[in-house]
A = this chain, B = another copy of it.
Amino acid sequence: MASVHSRAARAAGATLVAVASSSPERSRAAAEQLGFASAASSVEELVAHPDVDVVHVCTPNALHAAQAEAVLAAGKHVVCEKPLATSVTDAERLVELAEQAGVVATVPFVYRFYPLVREARARFAAGEMGRITTVLGSYLQDWLLTADDDNWRVDVTDGGRSRAFGDIGSHLVDLLEFITADRVVALAASKSTVFGTRGDRPVSTEDAVALTCQTEGGAIGSLLVSQVAPGRKNRLHLEIAGAEQTLGLDTEQPETIWLGRRAGSQLLPRDADQLAPDAARLCRVPAGHPMGYQDAFDAFAADTYAATRGEEPEGLPRFADGLRAGRITQAVLDSCEQGTWVRL
């Protein structure tokens, strides 16, 4: 993710002052590879660097809380990868510290930055979709399909207690709540760990989660998250039925949304001429020239930096959103372990 972050920072006009990795050698290698002006020998040094205004934390999950806290302690702006922390308590503390510091503290829920996600949100807000009745959602990947697929994320120590849900389920629920302004209030979940070991590691984190949920607005939903789904790479799919129209959205094809209607459904392209202002502002190439993930990440970084200059960009995902994701992840784990519905 460091290359995506650094490209986005550069595209937003930032100067890449310094980078720190897990050792001085790796820091120097990262600086060279990513085009940073210098390598910091430690997080402390990086945070203290006088030319550094914003720090991006994109380290293993278990390190996020302490490192983000260090940035905040230095009174600097921080972008922290999700999960914001591996416990709700830590996430709560970070939200509080960020508020006290009075800095910008964001979490890259980048799917919010696809223009058509904003369009969908605008339409729900305007009441065009009608009251929400059902949600069908999934986030499916296959990069951990076999027992040979290994990564620090599978390890509870580095990655935290939840893997599939914490990593990608959090995106799914964030996007659902962001688009609809409705909130999940109860859920019943079941999880699955397909392989007990990967490489040499014992694995206790889940590969997949299935859940049913209820929202504040009275909708019911079925969600599925998996990292062992052959043929899916990063498919976050949402089909949200309102009383008037259904929204169909797929982050693998973010340039079109499907608006299900009884008398002929519509395929809406990402065409700035036709979109709500908050969607149109994120369009940077003409319709039909696809925008992609890096474009979304660039927009997230640009909006974060705009916020550091005192602007108030719409829809910026902040630490409070990271905390919300942490609470939902905890509810999923609780529900799975207790075999009951859990209220949020």
B208 in contact with A231 (CB, 8 Å): no
B233 in contact with A287 (CB, 8 Å): yes
Q: Does A223 contact B (CB under 8 A)?
A: yes
- A252 shortest CB reach to chain B, Å: 5
Q: A219-B192, A229-B260 are in contact. Are A285 and B293 (CB under 8 A)?
A: yes
B145 in contact with A262 (CB, 8 Å): yes
Q: Does A307 contact B (CB under 8 A)?
A: no
A233 in contact with B194 (CB, 8 Å): no
B208 in contact with A189 (CB, 8 Å): no
A211 in contact with B208 (CB, 8 Å): no
Pick the contact of A292: B192, B213, B291 (CB < 8 A): B291
What number of copies of this chain does the assembly contain?
A: 4
- Contact mask for chain A residues 178-191; partner B; CB cutoff 8 A; 1 contact, 0 none: 00000000001111
Q: List 30 A-B contacts (CB under 8 A).
A: A10-B10, A133-B194, A133-B208, A135-B210, A142-B260, A143-B286, A145-B243, A190-B212, A190-B213, A190-B220, A194-B243, A210-B212, A210-B220, A222-B222, A222-B224, A230-B245, A230-B260, A231-B246, A231-B258, A231-B260, A233-B286, A233-B288, A233-B289, A258-B267, A264-B274, A267-B267, A285-B293, A289-B292, A290-B293, A340-B341
Interface residues of A (CB under 8 A from B): 3-4, 7, 10-11, 13, 35, 133-136, 138, 140-143, 145, 188-192, 194, 207-214, 218-224, 226, 228-235, 239, 241-246, 248, 251-255, 258-269, 271, 273-274, 284-295, 339-341
Other contacts beyond A134-B210, A142-B260: 10, CB < 8 A = A133-B192, A138-B222, A188-B341, A210-B213, A222-B224, A231-B260, A252-B255, A263-B271, A285-B292, A290-B292
